[in-house]
Every structure is written in C-alpha cells, then in structure tokens.
Chains A and B, each alone.
Chain A
Amino acid sequence: MPRLFIPPSLRPFCEGEEEVNVEGATVLEAVQSLDQQYPGVMERLCPEGKLRAGIAVTVDQNVTPRGLAQKVSSDSEIHFLPAIGGG
C-alpha cells in the first residue's frame, strides 16, 4: 500500500500519525483514502479536491508535475511539501 506522510501540522488531525498506509492508484485516491480514516483531512490538505497554491506533491523522491493525478504504486511514498522556485 502507498505510504502517505503526514505533515506535522496535520498530525493532530490524524491521531499523531507520521505516516499512514493508504489505498489508491493516484495521489488523489490516496488522499481520499486518508480522509476515510481521518475525516476532514482532505479538505485541509487539498481543499475542493485541488492542491493548495504553494504546495507540491512529491512521489518517490520527485516533485510530480501531475499533482493529485500522479499515479502511485503499492510501494510509493507520498509527501506534501512547500513548492519551491529556483534562481
């Protein structure tokens, strides 16, 4: 099952868990799965089913340009991190 890492400020809404095994073949499905375990989390992480401005999704070491639509495999790691720009 994909592992979704919970950002620290979201952990109080996930019983303090740092990471959660979730179902799903895409990042969006993974977040929906997380929301089933901890209702209300999805609205905080992805309001209205969209990534919040300034947040990026990292799947398996790389920021994905496909965001919530990115496919994930059973051993994928999913992180939500600040989006960054370069010089």
Chain B
Amino acid sequence: MATIDETKAAEGSDEAPKYKVIGTRPIRHDGADKVTGRALYGADIKVKGMIYGAILRSPHAHANIKSIDISKAEALPGVRAVATSADLPEPGDKIAELGEGSVILNHLSSNNLARTKVLYKGHAVAAVAADNLHIAQEAASLIEVEYEVLPPVMDVLKAMEDSAPVLNPDVRTEEASTGEKGDKPSNIAKHIIFEKGDLQKGFAEAEHIIEREFRTATVHQGYIEPHVATALWNNDGQITVWTSTQGTFSVRQQVAELLDVPLARVKVVPAEIGGGFGGKISVYLAPVAAVLSRKSGAPVQLVMDRADVLEATGPTPGSAIKIKMGVDADGRITAADAWMAYEAGGYPGSPIGAGAMCVFSCYDIPNGRVEGFDVCVNKPRTNAYRAPGATNAAFATETVVDELCEILGMEPVDFRLLNASKEGTRRIDGVTYPRIGLVETLEAIKNSEHYKTPLTGKNQGRGIGSGFWFNAGLKSAVTATVNSDGSVGLLEGSTDIGGSRTAIAMQFAEALGLAAEDIKPAVVDTDSVGYTDVTGGSRVTYATGWAAYEAAQDLKRQIVSRAAELWEVDPGQVSYEDGSVIGPDKSMTFKEIAVELSTTGEPLVGRGVSNHNEPGGAFGTHLVDVEVDPDTGKVDILRYTAAQDCGTAIHPAYVEGQIQGGAVQGIGWGLNEEYWYDEEGSMRNANFLDYRIPTCYDLPMIDAIIVEVPNPGHPFGVRGVGEVPIVPPPAALEAAIHNAVDVRLYELPMSPPRVLHELLKKES
C-alpha cells in the first residue's frame, strides 16, 4: 500500500531534530518469520502431553443457573476433567488494579465461568478437557444446565428505566468522583459529570444552536486470530500459560488473582499475536485452562472459534448520545452539552469515562457540561477497542459541528481551525492541554492535494472529521545485553502488535549510535524481564521506547567507566558520542569496545525502566470522498486522507500502517459493522460473513499524512499513534454522505438500509 511520502514537521520549528535511525524504514525484525509463516501464534503452541478443552456456553442472554449436572460428561471415555465456577475461588468484592484500569474480581471470575447467572448468550458455563477436541466438544454437550430464563435487556435506554430487570444484584449506581452509591440495585453502574463555565449563559450567547440524538451499534475489534490459551498447572504448584495477549503481566496478575495463587507461581509466555486492538487484555480462557490442567494433570489448550469470539469476548459498547452545541454569529462555540449512555455489557466497565472526556476534546469551549452513564445490558462485557469510547463521542459531536458549519456557511476545516483546541486550552473535564498538534493536522488536510481537488460526480460528497486520544505512559522495562561481536540483545515485555519491537530497537539504536540491524529485540516471558504494562493505550513506542533509551544511557555510562579503566585515564576524560567512546588519546567504536570488553571483564548488561506519564495526547483529522448509490443506499469510498500528529515517527511505515489500519476499522464501524440481536438476545451474525468488516474491495488507498509536533515529554518526541485514527472516520463519512445526497444520519452503522431509509424519507 503506497502512502503520501511526505512528513510534515511543525511549522518553523526546531522541534523536529534530525536523527540517523529514527525516521528511517529498516526491515522489521520479525518480518521474515511472519511472511514465511514460521512465526508461532497462540494456537501453534504445542506442549508435551497436551490435551484439548471445550467450553459450554449459555444459549440464553439472561437466566439464573439453577443447577449444573456434569456427570454424563465426566463419564464419557477420553474426558480428563470437567470444570465449573465451583472450581474457581470466590473472590468476593475485591478490586484488582490491572495497570490500565481496575476490575471487580467477582465479575471477572463470573465472566470466565458463570456462577449464579448468565448475562449474555455465549457466556461460559462449564468446561471440559479431553484427549481430543471432538471428545471435549461432545462431553460439553452432555452437561445438563437447568436455567430460569429471564427477560433480556438489550437496549441501553431501556436498561436505564426503573422497571428494567436488574442484571447484577450487587451493582448500585456509583457517583464517579465521590464514590457514593445508590440504595438499590441498578443497571446504571456509574454516573459521571463534568462542568465548565456557565452553560445557560453560553447558550444564551449563541446565535445558532443544534441539538441532536445519536445511537451507535455494538462493534467488535475483529482481530483475525481468535483467543487461545494453553496452561500447565504443574505438580510443584507452578502455573505456566502460553497465550496471545496484549499484556503478559496483566494475564499473570489476572490468573493469580482469579485462582488465588501467589503471583510468583504464574509465568506467562507470549506468542505472536494476530491483532488485539484492546480486546486481548482481559482473560477468558487462561484461568479455565489452568483449572482443567490442575484437575487433569496435563497441559490444556483452549481455542475459541469465531462465534465464541464475537459472542463472548469484549466488543466496544453501543451507545446513546445527545449533543447540544451553540455558536455565535462568527462561528465561535459558546456552549456545549453532552448526555452519554454507554453499554457496559453484562458487567460494569464501559469506557464512559474516556468517552465523556473525549466528546468535546477537539474544541476550545468556554461553557460546557458532560454527563455520562455506564449501563449494564445483556451483551458480552465490553472491552477496550482503539481509543475506547472516543469514536462514539466524536461521531456525535463532529456531526453536530458539521450541521453548525452548514448553518454558518463556513468551511468545516475553517470552523475547526477557529475553534480548535491548542496548548493551554482547558477541556470541560478541567485539564489543560500541553503542546498538541490538532491545528497542524487541520492545516495538513487543508493543504493536501485531496482537499484542493474538487469533486465533480453526481451523488458524490466530501466530509471531514477530527478526533483525539489521550495516549498512556505507564510502566515498562527493558534489558540490553551486549554480545561479543557488538550486537545487542534487547529483551522487552511489550508484546508486539504493530511493529513495536523494531520501533523500540530503533530508539535504542539511535541513543547508542548503532544501526537498527545491530539490535536483536525479543519479547520474552514474565520471568525474564521487568514488569511491563499492556500493549495498549498507544503507550509502547512511547514508554517502552523510553525504557530502551534509558537502557542505552545505562550502557553508555558503563562503557565510559570501563573504557577509562581500560585506558587508565580518569572517567571524566572519557565520553560517548555518536556511536564511539572517546578518550584523551584514542577512541573506539561501540563494536570495537564491545569486543575489547568481552575479553577483559564482566558482561555488559544495560537496564532501562520508565514510568513517565507525559504522553502528550494525539489528534487526527480525516478527509473522505464518497459516492452514494441512491437506489440501494450503498456508500462507496472514493478517496481517503488521514492526517495525524504522531510527535515523532520512529518508523514511518509502521506509523502509516497504524493510521491506515485505524481508519479502515473506523470505516467498517461507520458503514457496516454491528451486532444483530433477535428479541431473545441472540446474536444472529456471529461470523465474518454476516458481521461485515471491510475488505480490500470496500476500500480505496488510505493516504496517510504524518504530522510531527514532537512531544516535549519524551526524549525523542514520541506520541502514541495506534488509537486516534479510528476516531474520526464515522463522523467524516456522515458529513460526506450528507454532502452527497442531502440526508443526515444519526445512527451507526450507516449501512445501505439506513441510508436508503433516509433517502426514501426525503423523497416522500
């Protein structure tokens, strides 16, 4: 896939220093294994004596479990173990911090194997391990579960009604900032409010006000590789888990907490990972496989099929959002008000907090209010999905902004430039921005060839949308071992989803004055490297890259000290510059000194850690051209350009790939993807034929414009990349459809039936 070969540094800046390694495009270290099929993914793991598991899942969306009879399954020849929730310890109401967030352990445990209730169709109820998969599946089908079927609650607004059946008797509505809880069970798990300025005064000052209501569908991350876990609970009490995950240390903690075993007894070995996008942080299989292993005495492998993935792992929430915005006659925003209800799924934990902080994040708004609700419904427990909560919010806000632009007669890009958030802008939740690059992305779009090329065809339209994501810092650790030939083995704990091991190796190489090819990065198990938080939050290139930078500094200090000793000079007379150690009389390259030191003393091992949280925040602006078929409502994308502030692009090809991938997922979310439930709460499109993610036939080239406004909170100016590009697409598409055929859509996805419905309504 070609991309626009142009990187835009902040105008007039000395903010974009030149590097030797950073900004180049070396061949990725994991490339050969992946393109030849030799890379080992989760299901490729084979452990001696391994047996296979199958899980019995609920046929009901909402039901009490009255009894479970496993006797017939246990009696089937070849069955080695059967497990239910009775085999998992009772965690009580304990809350576990998982690096990127917290979880009520009782809910997490019940999501792995249901205790007293099932809360969505596909909810795991029992598990079997057998000599082969066929026996395991047959045995699972012999487990007899008696249910008391309850009415499902599938709609977020209906779930909020007082008369709605309550999913979780232990959930009370909690005020987010005070912790005060309601006095009766409720499907509303959390309530959040942000306020700034005087909302009434702001609307009174407005010349134009638009107020709209929006709905967005439940959508899945759609990673290609299904969930898989292999576990061995050894006789010595040690548990080893092999799995594809975004966070080995997070899996270690979840397994330890859910099984109530010491952390040190759990080792998690990462496999390569075929996509995650936030969906491979929570555990679904590992604790169950471990319990089956303990009962059977053999390593057990559990693999989901596609229906399991869609029905029983965490999608991103459907939502209901109301937005009201006012502008003065010059187009300045005077006030904005948002009401947002996000579906949490069966257990609390939707990304409503992030959605509420992101909903007006692109704009400098003097008076604002945001109210958010986390709401349980009978769908799978939601999980993170690229900028969780932000896409729903941006779809609503950006659509209202587009309508305001229409009333004002302003170019949407000019309206955004007039009102854009910038350094010092205070968000409605109160925080001010550091140096950010939204304006630069708008200018990049405005200056693009795409923007300057007019549309000429019938039923064609152009739309623009902007989006924001915070990015995260958190903890990372890296170990660097210098080999006797001057190469370096770089051990890291960040599982590599988007090419991060190369991006981290490049930062290490840059800091030491080496070539990327001199570094051999490896993602290792939890016993082999320091604690590292999840690969998520757009944090890995930022935080693990920083740890690699620190490891390089550590090595430099050691090399200077050792060289001084070797040369019998004062350490103050020795320095490390541009890949060489320099003394008063001589200098040696890194490789030369590495060879020398390998024979004259202890091994050179560097360590680097980071726990910095100045990730800077990132913005993107997308421009899209569409053509709408008025007979069918089908939307074809003609051209797409995405501009994003990446701080500093370490490996531009990966940055472009992240932007393109995120945009494609946002396009799928915008035009086709949705969970279809029947009245009983059963998902009717739990396969990739009927759950329509975009294919190459649905997409044009996604032109990626990398904007570089270096983040002052990182040694190389890195910001996160992976999440922002999913935020603007649905809103940009809505504006484009409106400009093409003069209808407005307030519900996602904007699939052919919905577009056609609006077209027919307009005609009538």
Q: Which B residues are CB-close (under 8 A) to A45? A: 177-178
Name the residue of chain A whose CB is nearest to the CB of B348.
A54
* A80 to chain B: closest residue by CB: B177
The answer to whether the Cβ of A55 comes within 8 Å of any Cβ in the partner chain is yes
Chain B nearest Cβ from A8, distance in angstroms: 4
| A36 on interface, CB distance cutoff 8 Å | no
Interface of B is mostly: loop
Determine whether B180 belongs to the interface, using a CB cutoff of 8 Å to chain A: yes
B100 touches A55 (CB 8 A): no
Proximity bits, A64-85, B CB within 8 Å = 1, else 0: 1100000000000101111111
Bound-state Cα–Cα, A42 to B240, Å: 42
Contacts of A33-60 to chain B: CB distance below 8 A: 44-45, 47, 52-55, 58
Query: CB within 8 A of B388: which of A5, A58, A63, A86?
Result: A86
Evaluate contact between A5 and B100: CB separation under 8 angstroms: no
Chain B residues with CB under 8 A of A54: 101-102, 176, 190, 353
- Once the chains bind, are A65 and B475 in contact (CB under 8 Å)? yes
Across the interface, name the chain B residue whose C-beta is closest to A19.
B430
| CB < 8 Å neighbour of B178 from A10, A65, A83 | A10
Q: Quick check: B100 and A85 within 8 Å, CB to CB?
A: yes
Give the docked Cα–Cα distance between A72 and B97 (Å). 24
A57 to chain B, nearest CB (A): 10
**Most A C-beta atoms less than 10 A away, residue of B95, B179, B388, B539:** B179
**In the assembled complex, B386 has its CB within 8 A of some CB on chain A:** yes
B residues in contact with A80, CB < 8 Å? 177
B225 on the A face (CB < 8 A): no
Q: Please name the residue on chain A nearest to B384 by beta carbon.
A: A87
Residue-wise interface mask of B (566-578) relative to A, using a CB-CB cutoff of 8 A (1 in contact, 0 not): 0000000000000
Contacts of A9 in B (CB 8 A): 175-178, 180, 191, 193
CB–CB A86/B613 < 8 A: no
Per-residue 0/1 for B384-395: is the Cβ within 8 Å of any A Cβ (1 yes, 0 no)? 111111000000
Partner of B353 from the list A10, A47, A83, A87 (CB cut-off 8 Å) is: A83
Contact between chains at B384 and A65 (CB < 8 Å): no
Q: In the complex the two chains form, is B177's CB within 8 Å of A8's CB?
A: yes
Docked-complex contact B351 and A85, CB < 8 angstroms: yes
- Contact present for A85 and B431 (CB under 8 Å): no
Assembled-state Cα–Cα distance A8/B384 (Å): 26
CB-defined contacts of B97 to chain A, threshold 8 Å: 53
Find residues 1-26 in chain A having any chain B CB closer than 8 Å to their own CB: 5, 7-10, 13, 18
5 additional A-B pairs beyond A65-B474, A86-B723, beta carbons within 8 Å, are A83-B102, A85-B281, A87-B221, A87-B536, A87-B722
**Listed A/B pairs (9) with beta-carbon separation below 8 Å:** A8-B177, A8-B195, A9-B180, A44-B179, A54-B353, A65-B613, A82-B357, A84-B353, A86-B470
- Residues of chain A at the chain B interface (Cβ within 8 Å): 5, 7-10, 13, 18, 44-45, 47, 52-55, 58, 61-65, 77, 79-87
